Structure 1
Amino acid sequence: MSLKDKIKSNPKLKKIAHWLLIPNNDHRPRLWVRLFINPFKHKKGPGSIIRCSSRMDVFPFNDFRLGAKSTIEDFATINNGVGDVLIGEGSMIGIGSVVIGPVDIGNNVMLAQNIVVSGLNHGYEDVTLPPSLQKEIRKQIIISDNVWIGANSVITAGITIGRHSVIGAGSVVTKNIPDYCVAVGNPAKIIKRYSAETGTWESVKN
């Protein structure tokens, strides 16, 4: 059994390890983790940029990867505390956006401003406990290559967005979006699909 598995299987060791990595009542790693562990654990591709005012809540017990020539803009928050956050090459996480794992973002993806992409939910079924104390529900989000997501959109847990699809500003995506589609609204609905036969984007009647 590896050291990681031993810690996970022992509640007391797990609690001590958690305290060493994360201060009480906080959700970001301690300074020593950010300075001395994360740079060696996580991968950042050549030409990639993480703006100094972004919030990088990344921990060594899950993966974080930023591909070559990708950018995390000012005031964005990246959190891999409950699942990996993987960002491909040439992608952009826009100003004020929040990405909470588990999330897999492809190449040449554009996230505009103030977008929430969260693979995390909390249970609420037990009315004797506040949702913050109930079980965590984790479902991976996949955003495929060449996707463009408009400002103020929300991508909910477990969603897959197909290649070269566009999500209109202010949309809430609660169902999977196939390749080559335009989806808008709350909940988001497909309004256009690309036709390979005609070479045009054709309207979809809902």
Structure 2
Amino acid sequence: MSLKEKIKGNPGLKKLVHWMLIPPGEARPRLWVRLFLNPFIHHYGKGSKVRYRTRMDVLPFNKFNLGKGSTIESFSTVNNGVGDVIIGDGTLIGMSNVIIGPVNIGNNVILAQNIVVSGLNHEYRNTDIAIKDQKIITATITIEDDCWIAANAVITAGVTIGKHSVVGGGAVITRDVPAYSVAVGNPARIIKRFDFEMGNWISVK
């Protein structure tokens, strides 16, 4: 049995380790974790950049990988507390994005500004318990290679955005977006698809 499994299997030990890593009621790891633990656990590819004013709420018990040549711009928040955050090569995470795992972002993806990508939801159906005290539900978001997500979009838990797709500004993605598609609106709908036989983007009625 691995150390991680032993900790998970022992509620008292798990609580102690969690307290050592994160102050109670907070999401940001303690300073010692950020300075002395995370740099040796998480992967930063060659030429990758995390701007100084980015908030990195990453913890050692889930993965954080930033691919080579990728950049996370200032005022963004990245959180892997409830699931891995994997970002591929040559990808740009624009200013003021919020990325909450579990999330897989491919290669050469552009995320513009003020985008929320969250693989986390809160259970709410038991009306006898405050929502904040109910369990957390996670479902992985996948953004495949070569996508462009325009400003102010919201990507909800569990969806997949297919390769070389575009999400319009302010769109709320609640369902999968097929590869080579353009999605806009709230909730988002597909308005264009690339037709490989015609070699052109075709409007979807």
TM-score past 0.5 threshold: yes
What per-residue deviation string (whole Å, max 9, x for no partner) do you get for residues 62-106 of structure 1? 000000010000000000000000000000111000000000000
Residues 169-188 of structure 1 aligned to structure 2 (within 5 Å): 169-188=169-188
Residues 108-147 of structure 1 aligned to structure 2 (within 5 Å): 108-147=108-147
What per-residue deviation string (whole Å, max 9, x for no partner) do you get for residues 129-167 of structure 1? 111111111100000000000100000000000000000
Residues 8-87 of structure 1 aligned to structure 2 (within 5 Å): 8-87=8-87
The more displaced of 125-134 and 147-156 is: 125-134
Q: What is the aligned partner in structure 2 of residue 199 from structure 1?
A: 199
Deviation at 1:6, TM superposition (A): 1.2
TM-score (norm 1): 0.98
The more displaced of 81-90 and 123-132 is: 123-132
**Cα-Cα RMSD:** 0.6
Task: Point out where structure 1 has 5 or more consecutive residues left out of the alignment.
Answer: none
TM-score (norm 2): 0.99
Deviation at 1:9, TM superposition (A): 0.9
Deviation at 1:4, TM superposition (A): 1.3
Q: What is the aligned partner in structure 2 of residue 97 from structure 1?
A: 97
SS of 1:37's equivalent?
helix
Q: What is the aligned partner in structure 1 of residue 2 from structure 2?
A: 2
**Counterparts of 2:135 and 2:67 in 1: how far apart (Å)?**
32
Code of the residue aligned with 1:76 in structure 2: it is S
**Counterparts of 1:12 and 1:94 in 2: how far apart (Å)?**
40
